[in-house]
Structure 1
Amino acid sequence: MNLIEKAGLMALHRVDPERSHRLALMAMKAGFVPLSGTYTSPALATRLAGLDLPNPVGLAAGYDKNAEVVDALTQAGFGWIEVGAITPRAQTGNPKPRLFRLSEDQAVINRFGFNNEGMDAAQSRLAKRNRRSGVPVGLNLGANKDSVDRAADYVAVLERCADVVDFVTVNVSSPNTEKLRDLQGAAALTALLRGVMAARDARDKPLPVFLKIAPDLNADEITEIAGVAREAKLDAIIATNTTLDREGLKSASGGEKGGLSGVPLFEKSTRVLAQLSRDLDGALPLVGVGGISSPADAYAKIRAGASAVQLYSALVYKGLSLVTEIAKGLETHLAKDGFGHISDAVATDRSAWL
């Protein structure tokens, strides 16, 4: 992190977290944020669910909810990005305040509740994005809070936006929409995915479908989801979303309701990832998310079973320079351990997490 980036982060941390994030997006949109471009190499170029990633370091959903700064983000070092979550209709989300920095824990709590401008606005912006960057762009699918048929909401967003993205993610794991996580149960998830996959298969052009799951699942539930995902022929699973767990937090805001992300989530999410890797045994690729704040963290996710990783909360504390730092650091770790390519390291230390 250079002095300019450090000063910028210090200034943003003096502002309310949600307003701070809005200012960061505005600065990026206006071209005031220096962008490093995407670092790649033969060792890092990754094939994920049919997608060619320049490097395996991705941006998790939630940072650019409404696809406002997609072109800038594809030049910020990421090998792939995910925008959203997007619901069919615009909704304001939960009352403010709903975003909290936990600086002592290098963590964040949010209870946004899928605030977004709706699928029409997202589709319009994504249709105008620069597709020459070589960085795949995906969309996180959500359901409206007051929907009477949430399964149909996922299909609606997919059908509206499929032509302007490279993959979609079915998000049934946000803790901030009441009863949304109930869709992770075997029967509900099977029915939901049947509709989503039918909509995907009706298209002429292939579109990878990912599933994002919660970290607060027990071993039997994880195994159950692995079976459903295999049966549905999903293209990948993202493990994991935010947690409701609050164990060991030091920050004053640690008791706020919502989903916890950042460093405290690392171990829990990695254990879920490792179990999924064991249960699926290579049947479909996995994405490791949760608590990554260094090259070593990202490498641990890879060795626990992930083919690629995603970041978000660590950017709040370490800035966008962290993205390229992690990509280059992964290359260093691979060389040190004698791996010629990132795929050679996948799941090589899985047993340590089981």
Structure 2
Amino acid sequence: MTPTLASALMPLLRGLDPETAHNLALQALGWGLAGRDTAPDDPVLATSALGLAFRNPIGLAAGFDKNAVAVLPLMRLGFGFVEAGTVTPRPQLGNPRPRLFRLEEDRAVINRMGMNNQGLEAFRARLAALKRPLPAVLGGNIAVNKDDAVPERDYPALYAALAPLCDYVAVNISSPNTPGLRDLQGEARLVAILDAIAAVRTPEGPPLLVKIAPDLADDAVAAVVEACAARGVAGLIVSNTTIARPDSLRSPHRGEAGGLSGAPLLARATEVLKLAYRLSHGRLTLIGVGGVASGVDAYAKIRSGASLVQLYAGFAYAGPALIPRMKRELAALLQRDGFRSVADAVGVDAARDDRPQAA
């Protein structure tokens, strides 16, 4: 099956409960039913970031493959990198269903999954069983359990467990669906966590990233940037889902609790991305995520400061055919504007502050 044919079947899945459809899609991927993108990537898309080589800058965000059950099939769809997880030390069921909602009128998703996953042991076993070398860069996303969590203990243990198996590890302190997790973005707690991870990191270990919320105030973003830059963090993932509800939402599900992702998140996530780029002064590599659903969106993230981009809701709606289409669009845009590489375009728009100014 080709990615295009697999995408043609997406309307059938959308007739099902969203979580059931998602689980069936993962099973189909695991069985190899989604096909693969066999076309070579345009050389203009190749890029280096985080000390790693990427065949293209388009990645799959954490949350799609929480348990690392379809890493290789996902990579074969043409992604430049895949971030598996979020994984917690122990298995947890997450929040009661229903907990995943399509906002089709808004090309958006609301989830309050609660980081349901099978735990570190199962996750690590699946990563260890992957046949290497992998066709794309592999990231692992880590967080603490809802109950009995000690962040300064758990994050270092998770990092150490995944270090031999992942090309980078991302610390999730920004999901809105685990009580108290976003409080870890506060400077004091974040510093304590990063210092604890530093105690188990080695120079040969994979780069460490921190995933932040789009709802942080500007001064909080600045504090996170400085804390990360001062402690050897390689980059930020900007951003997680939002708890905000724009007035533009039209779906009957717009009032559901949880994190909003998809098209309505694009503007705010890109604004925070630009801010982080201006504040970091090249000290951190940025991954832009939030509302990406086309090559145009990916290009906007790159021009706003992202060296790499990720998507989730856009992929969930459009299916596997989206990835080769995005790559073609992005390559054409880079070449149209005279850029010889992705890296040449990073941040060219970030110096301009488009936010309304006070009178």
- Are the equivalent residues in 2 in contact too, given 1:39–1:327 (CA < 8 A)? no
Give the match for residue 24 of structure 1. 25
Which segment drifts farther, 138-147 or 2-11?
Answer: 2-11
Shift of 1:5: 3.4
Distance 1:112 1:38 in 2: 35
1:120/1:160 contact within 8 Å kept: no
- 2:195 matched residue in structure 1: 194
**Aligned residue in 2 for 1:290:** 290
Instruction: Give the aligned length.
Output: 352
CA-CA distance at 1:352 after TM superposition: 4.9
1:334-353 → structure 2 map (5 Å cutoff): 334-350=334-350, 351-353=352-354
The 3-state SS of whatever aligns with 1:131 is: coil
**Alpha-carbon offset, residue 132 of structure 1:** 2.1
Does the aligned pair in 1 maintain the 2:7–2:321 contact within 8 Å?
no
- Measure how far apart 1:141 and its partner are: 0.5
Aligned residue identity for 1:310: Q
Of stretches 80-89 and 145-154 in structure 1, the one that deviates more from structure 2 is 145-154
Decide whether the 8 Å contact of 1:57 with 1:310 is kept in 2. Answer: yes
Letter in 2 for 1:228: A
1:131: how far off?
Answer: 2.1
- Map 1:151-230 → 2, pairs under 5 A: 151-201=152-202, 205-230=204-229
* Alignment correspondent of 2:230: 231
Deviations 1:119-174 (A, max 9, x none): 00011000011222331111100100002412321112112222111110000000
Question: Cα distance, 1:48 vs. partner?
Answer: 1.2
Regions of 4+ moved over 4 Å: none
SS at the partner of 1:146?
coil
How far apart, CA to CA, are the structure 1 residues paired with 2:305 and 2:7? 33
Matched-pair contact (CA < 8 Å) for 1:38–1:78:
no
How far the C-alpha of 1:82 sits from its partner, in A, is: 0.3
SS state at 2:44 partner:
coil
- Cα deviation digits, residues 326-351 of structure 1 (max 9, x gap): 12211101111111111111110111
Q: Displacement of 1:19 after TM fit?
A: 0.3
Query: Counterparts of 1:156 and 1:140 in 2: how far apart (Å)?
Result: 13
3-state SS of 1:132 partner: coil
SS at match of 1:164: coil
2:92, 2:39 → 1: CA distance?
A: 33
Asked if structure 2 preserves the Cα contact closer than 8 Å seen for 1:38 and 1:54, the reply is: no
1:307 matched to 2:307? The reply is yes
CA distance in 2, matches of 1:39, 1:195: 42
Judged with a 3 Å threshold, the aligned counterparts in structure 2 of structure 1 residues 176 and 39 are, in CA distance, closer, same or farther, namely: farther
Equivalent residue number for residue 251 of structure 1:
251
Is contact 2:89-2:154 (8 Å) kept?
A: yes
Q: Distance in 1 between matches of 2:339 and 2:268?
A: 26
Structure 1 unpaired stretches of 5+ = none
Aligned match of 1:325:
325
The structure where helix makes up a greater share of residues is 1
Contact kept? 1:38, 1:79, Cα under 8 Å? no
By how many angstroms is 1:32 displaced? Answer: 1.4
The sequence identity of aligned pairs, in percent, is 44
